[in-house]
């Protein structure tokens, strides 16, 4: 999957009425039928607004390695100035200039937000994606960058850390910034902690909230996209419209992972990456998770492969729909039975999940589950299914918006969960296996 950055901020509309924040979604493989009420039909071009810079979304970063990064952004016309200036963070010397590759992409359908006239519609038409592949970078180093087309469109990223170095990342999910100020408030408190990269556990944007489009999402989420490489999981809201998955999710975030020999038909829906000797595995809970599923076999093979890499420490796995929860969504004991033996075998001490809008932490022998789904979607009932067997192992929970900043040190994974008011709601330590 791939990543995006955007440095123009818009005011957050406060909406008092919205629907479908949780929803059951549908498999990405089958795509969801579009809703008739907020589609404009198969239009060739709706007259895409385009300012003098030509930049319409971004930039953002993805596919982080020890020596490289991809910087991606969208333009609303062909031929926008494609150079990106990259410098070491806090460096006095001038940075290097890298040129992006431009490729057209035609969107056939317009989508709008019926209950939010201030949300710009996602218009049909031809857009131009720019990928800047920056190589020859120093490992364990942070950089800044800016577009030559618009110096205000800028961001920061860090290359993968050397094996054994400390790493810091932000875990967040179910972000719905146009629904109200919760998402942007959470980000305002966690981003100053300077995470190296962003772990997003899915449900990135919600057409179903009826107040949001990708056009409204990007400006509000730019602070997060500018903070570090973005590594999202696929959620059930990533294909709410018939063309959304290909036209938006994969176009924006396809190629986020690296070093990941997935089956040709996997569609970038599950992948892996590494920093500091810690391997991250991103699963797609919209796909089958039984013992014979392609994704399950892929994870077993890739966990085994990563465990043999020089400097391997342990792995972290994350995905959208939870394996364990006491809240108002389903759990998945069958998937636990399939995957937890792998987690034990290949040193997976932490699993991060989403979908249940709130916060939970479960502590089992050698394994912690973290529900990090308080990113701004309408909050759910975190104890609706408190009678489930796993609930006796739920250590902490709460019905609040939040993001969790996680530090991996020499012997401990340390987490701090901060809500939208800036209050620390939970701290925890997980022993490194």
Q: Is the dihedral of CA 328, 330, 333, 339 positive or negative?
A: negative
Please report the pLDDT score of residue 215 as a whole number: 97
State the average pLDDT over residues 124-141: 97
Whether pTM > 0.85 for this model: the answer is yes
pLDDT tens track for 50-69: 999 999 999 999 999 999 99
For residue range 76-121, what is the model confidence (pLDDT) as tens digits? Answer: 999 999 999 999 998 877 789 999 999 999 999 999 999 999 999 9
Q: Look up residue 119 and give its two tokens.
A: 């949300």
Average pLDDT score over residue span 418-426:
98
What does the pLDDT look like over 240-292, one tens digit per residue? 999 999 999 999 999 888 655 444 444 568 999 999 999 999 999 999 999 99
Residue 432 has pLDDT above 90, yes or no: yes
Place of tokens 């990269």: 197
Among residues 350, 375, 370, 345, the alpha carbon closest in space to that of 360 is found at: 370
pLDDT recorded at residue 23: 40
Distance (Å) of CA 61 to CA 230, 322, 340: 6, 27, 32
- Between 3 and 405, residue with greater pLDDT: 405
How many angstroms separate the CA atoms of 347 and 304, rounded?
A: 10
Task: Give the integer Cα–Cα distance in Å for 154 and 225.
Answer: 10
Can you tell me the distance from the alpha carbon of 305 to that of 318, in angstroms, rounded to the nearest whole number? Answer: 18
Looking at the DSSP bridge assignments, the partners of residue 426 are: 417
Instruction: Give percent of the chain with pLDDT exceeding 70.
Output: 87
Mean pLDDT value across the chain: 89
pLDDT reported for residue 259: 57
Q: Name the CA radius of gyration of the chain, rounded.
A: 20
**pLDDT at residue 195 is higher than 80:** yes
Instruction: Answer whether residue 32 shows pLDDT above 50.
Output: no
pLDDT given for residue 268 in this prediction? 63
| 116 touches 208 (CB < 8 A) | no
- Of residues 19 and 241, more confidence is placed in 241
| Residue that the structure tokens 């999981």 belong to | 233
Is 90 exceeded by the pLDDT of residue 230? yes
Q: Say yes or no to pLDDT of 191 above 50.
A: yes
Say yes or no to pLDDT of 407 above 70. yes
Is there a contact between 269 and 305 (Cβ–Cβ < 8 Å)? no
Greater pLDDT, 257 or 170 = 170
CATH topology of domain 1-433: Purple Acid Phosphatase; chain A, domain 2 (3.60.21)
Which ranges of 98-243 would DSSP assign to H, the alpha helix? 182-190, 214-225
Domain borders along the chain are 1-433
Q: How many CB atoms lie within 10 A of CB 321?
A: 28
Least confident of 30-39, 307-316, 359-368, 406-415: 30-39
Distance in angstroms (rounded) separating the CA atoms of residues 55 and 82:
10
Query: 16-20, 149-153, 165-169, 360-364: lowest mean pLDDT where?
Result: 16-20
- Residue 7 pLDDT > 50, yes or no? no
Which one, of 424, 347, 376, lies nearest residue 183 by Cα? 376
**For position 271, what pLDDT does the model report?**
94
Q: Which class for 113: exposed (0-12), middle (13-18), buried (19 or more C-beta within 10 A)?
A: buried
- The stretch 343-368 carries a mean pLDDT of 98
* pLDDT level of residue 25 (50, 70, 90 thresholds): very low
Smallest CA-to-CA distance from 314 within 258, 367, 370, 372 is with: 367
Q: pLDDT grade, residue 11 (50/70/90)?
A: very low
């Amino acid at each position: 999957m791939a990543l995006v950055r955007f440095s123009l901020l818009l005011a957050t509309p406060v909406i008092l009425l919205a629907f479908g924040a949780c929803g059951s979604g549908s498999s990405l493989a089958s795509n969801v039928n579009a809703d008739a009420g907020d589609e404009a039909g198969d239009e060739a071009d709706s007259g895409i607004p385009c300012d003098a810079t030509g930049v319409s979304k971004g930039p953002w970063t993805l596919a982080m390695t020890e020596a490289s990064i991809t910087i991606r952004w969208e333009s609303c016309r062909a031929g926008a100035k494609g150079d990106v200036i990259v410098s070491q963070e806090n460096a006095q010397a001038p940075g290097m200039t890298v040129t992006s590759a431009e490729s057209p992409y035609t969107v056939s359908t317009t989508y709008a937000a019926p209950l939010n006239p201030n949300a710009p519609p996602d218009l049909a038409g031809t857009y131009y994606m720019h990928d800047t592949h920056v190589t020859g970078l120093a490992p364990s180093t942070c950089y800044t960058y800016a577009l030559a087309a618009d110096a205000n469109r800028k961001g920061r990223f860090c290359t993968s850390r050397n094996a054994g170095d400390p790493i810091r990342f932000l875990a967040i999910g179910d972000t719905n910034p146009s629904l109200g100020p919760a998402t942007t408030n959470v980000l305002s408190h966690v981003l100053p902690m300077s995470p190296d990269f962003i772990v997003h556990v899915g449900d990135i944007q919600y057409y179903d909230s009826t107040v949001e489009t990708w056009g409204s999402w990007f400006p509000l989420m730019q602070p997060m996209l500018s903070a570090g490489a973005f590594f999202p999981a696929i959620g059930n809201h990533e294909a709410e419209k018939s063309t959304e998955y290909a036209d938006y999710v994969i176009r924006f975030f396809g190629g986020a992972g690296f070093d990941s020999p997935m089956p040709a038909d996997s569609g970038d829906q599950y992948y892996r990456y590494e920093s500091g000797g810690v391997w991250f595995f991103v699963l797609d809970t919209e796909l089958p998770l039984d013992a014979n599923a392609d994704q399950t076999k892929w994870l077993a093979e890739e966990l085994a492969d990563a465990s043999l890499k020089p400097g391997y420490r342990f792995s972290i796995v994350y995905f959208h729909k939870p394996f364990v929860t006491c809240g108002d969504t389903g759990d998945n004991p069958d998937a636990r039975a399939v995957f937890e033996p792998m987690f034990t075998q290949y040193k997976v001490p932490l699993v991060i999940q989403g979908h249940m809008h709130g916060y939970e932490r479960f502590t089992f022998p050698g394994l912690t589950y973290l529900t990090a789904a308080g990113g701004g979607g309408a909050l759910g009932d975190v104890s609706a299914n408190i009678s489930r067997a796993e609930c006796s192992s739920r250590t902490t929970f709460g019905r609040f918006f939040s993001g969790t900043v996680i530090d991996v040190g020499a012997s401990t994974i340390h987490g701090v969960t901060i809500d939208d008011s800036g209050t620390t709601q939970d701290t925890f330590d997980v022993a490194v296996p």
